[in-house]
Homo-oligomer: A and B are copies of this chain.
Amino acid sequence: MQTPEIYISQKPQLLARTRVIKALSHPTRLFIVEELEKGERCVCELTAMIGADVSTVSKHLSILRQAGILEDDKRGNQVFYRLKVPCILNFFGCVESVLHSQRQHDTLR
């Protein structure tokens, strides 16, 4: 070891993992993942539920797909998305436990 491994946050493994987690780090995308737990949905259904512009929803879906979390299936002129890696959902239980352990630790802004 010379310097601290050049710059640790450039390590490919960390970057790859970060890409997946980053894909989940947006309220709309989190909503999409939770909704798809119930089954596949087309872009139009998700858009109606979310209430943002279709193009915005489409871009969120694209981010989740590129991260490998969703897969899409085009049927007719609609595109259906579904969860490719359902274990993602197990994580939310843990996230909840983080939230519950937050009694009042410092500034919760």
Residues of chain A having any CB pair with chain B under 8 Å: 3-11, 14-18, 20-22, 24-28, 30-31, 48-52, 65-69, 71, 84-85, 87-88, 90-99, 101-102, 105-108
Contacts and interface: CB of A to CB of B under 8 A. Distances in A.
Main secondary structure of the interface of A (DSSP, over half): helix
Copies in the complex: 2
Interface centre among A8, A84, A105, A107 (most CB of B within 10 A): A8
A66 B108 contact: yes
23 contacts: A4-B50, A7-B51, A8-B28, A8-B31, A8-B51, A9-B26, A9-B27, A11-B27, A14-B27, A17-B92, A18-B27, A18-B30, A21-B25, A22-B26, A25-B25, A66-B107, A68-B98, A68-B99, A68-B105, A71-B105, A88-B94, A90-B90, A90-B91
